[in-house]
Chain A
Amino acid sequence: PDAPRCLSDLIETFRAQLRDDPDVASAVAAIRALLGFLKQDRGETIQGLRNSLRDAIDTLSRVDSSVAVSSGGELFLRFITLTSLEYSDYSKCKEIMIERGEIFLRKVSLSRNKIAKLCHPFIRDGARILTHAYSRVVLRVLEAAVESKKRFSVYVTESQPDQAGQKMAKALRKLNIPVTVILDAAVGYIMEKVDLVLVGAEGVVESGGIINKIGSNQIAVCAKAQNKPFYVVAESFKFVRLFPLNQQDVPDRFKYKADTLKKGQNLTEEHPWIDYTSPSLITLLFTDLGVLTPSAVSDELIKLYL
């Protein structure tokens, strides 16, 4: 009786957050919704809480199947486990969880600014940057570079099938940055003109590779071939416990939108929305935990999950 109503409230809270604040990362919205869910949970035991949270996370993944929501959910579950290990009394434990949850959300909202501060010194004056699709973190970094009085120009890939690149170009023009939209197929052509490639990530996997909008792998391979640095900017809550060795290893639930998976058709007819870029193609990752080489990412994940 209670459970379904709470879950639909959860979905509504999640959707409302994304509507009201288009700038918020989907993982943060998911964690905030889960924190709200935790606050009004009536359970009496940690086990019960974890089970209902798992259901909640599954529900959210069915609404938005991106890697970010999945990693946000995993992180939240881990957060619950770690806190419950310290306090055996359930009500005290729950109080601490809620308090820490708020602190975590506050810290996380500052992560984009931290990343921008770390990353913008790497953009030299007069640089030509190539970026892919629409990433709010990259936008924040470029904004910080403009604030530090650097002059640069940006090439954005159009990024089919949803033309996210056009959205990025519009946002960049508002910042008075000279921007050119190029075809996805023109990346190899343009690579000799660029000085560096800067992309966001939907998820950062254990090997130090990234999962990002389809086309990122191509750009990384071209950048490597022409010796251009390939920088990734991602917040730390995007670190996910996956270790794909090739494109097939990435689970289908991330590759396709939630509605497509529900329809249950033959997936070979569908186009995937994301691809995996291996760590050997990435120069540096800028996260709110600092500037990391790809080999440092697995260290971070180990520290958290083991």
Chain B
Amino acid sequence: RASPLSGELMDLIRTEGQRMTAAQPSETTVGNMVRRVLKVIREEYGRLHGRSEESDQQESLHKLLTSGGLSEDFRTPYPSLRANVIEAINEMLIELEGTTDNIAMQALEHIHSNEVIMTIGYSRTVEAFLKEAARKRKFQVIVAECAPFCQGHEMAVRLSKENIETTVMSDAAIFAVMSRVNKVIIGTKTILANGALIAVSGTHTLALAAKHHSTPLIVCAPMFKLSPQFPNEEDSFHKFVSPQEVLPFTEGEILAKINVHCPVFDYVPPELITLFISNIGGNAPSYIYRLMSELYHPDDYEL
């Protein structure tokens, strides 16, 4: 096979990425992975091209002043590029497989004995986190059921199988119980570039109640959920499903007179979050911009 031109490869990947994200805009992890692969290709190309390791790919004031004005055009073919890229992608796959375990390993630093932890809905990351802590510590968990899909029930069943004292309660009781809670630990669907969350519907309520009682809100999420988008008018994060769950079709008479919505996601602003626990450690929401610059290249923010 002829040596691949990295420029063409990147265009190919970008087109496929656009198609995939257009198919399901709320699955931001697809776009994130495409961006990471593009960054891998840029890095490998740069390494082969002989650029020094420390030269920053990001736009910065420093670069504005010192650059000679040429931008990378990715035209030079390198035969070993393919092998390098494949190796880097395999490394990334190994990292992805270990994310839940990496996060769970940090559980003991954050959960102490006789604490009351609150969570909402069902998150595999939080489940692993709590299970790991339960091996050495005794604590209680309150799970908000997260209507209308009530995934909190499944979370409660799984946690109680590990002999963790679990209580399920309705979303309306979140504020009432919050004064007795020591920590709130939640998962999320996406982390946005300003440190905000797109999480399951009901999380904003939980975050506001936690803020009111000054209870720390900890978000357990792997880094592949970090998306370089800002919350703006695109509103492509919103996903509305059948309102059957909220008001069943059997209530036929009133259905004609009212509007029923069933949003799946909630936006949680960054001021309400205390800590992000990810596979690379704990970070504050104000530090997210830095993590983003390490994972993605600014030219790839718009796929």
Contact = CB atoms under 8 A, between A and B. Distances in A.
Contacts, number: 73
B59 interface: yes
Contact of B61 (A125, A291, A301): A301
Contacts of A295: 286-287, 289
B298 A290 contact: yes
Specify the main secondary structure of chain B where it touches its partner: loop
A224 B288 CA distance: 22
A284 B230 contact: yes
B64 interface: yes
A301 B66 CA distance: 15
A12 interface: no
Nearest to A121: B232
A122 to B, nearest CB: 5
Contacts of A292: 289
A301 B56 CA distance: 14
B15 interface: no
A13 to B, nearest CB: 21
Interface in B40-76: 56, 58-62, 64-69
A103 B67 CA distance: 9
A303 B289 CA distance: 15
A78 B60 CA distance: 14
Most buried by B among A78, A86, A108, A304: A304
A103 B232 contact: no
B184 interface: no
A300 B61 CA distance: 7
Interface size class for chain A?
20 to 34
Contacts of B59: 288-290
B234 interface: yes
A303 B60 contact: yes
B290 A303 contact: no
A241 B179 CA distance: 44
Interface in A82-117: 82-83, 86, 100, 103-104, 107-108
B194 interface: yes
Contacts of B65: 75, 78-79, 82, 100, 104, 304
B195 A122 contact: no
A301 B60 CA distance: 9
Contacts of B56: 303
Contacts of B288: 293
A110 B287 CA distance: 29
A122 B230 contact: yes
Contacts of B61: 75, 236-237, 239, 289, 300-301, 303-304
B220 interface: no
A299 B232 contact: no
Nearest to A78: B65
Contacts of B118: none
B233 interface: yes
A103 B62 contact: no
B193 interface: yes
A236 B63 CA distance: 12
A124 B194 contact: no
A123 interface: yes
Given A100-B68, A291-B230, 12 more contacts: A75-B65, A86-B66, A100-B66, A104-B65, A107-B69, A236-B61, A236-B64, A291-B193, A293-B288, A296-B290, A301-B61, A303-B62
Interface of B: 56, 58-62, 64-69, 193-195, 230, 232-234, 286-290, 298, 301
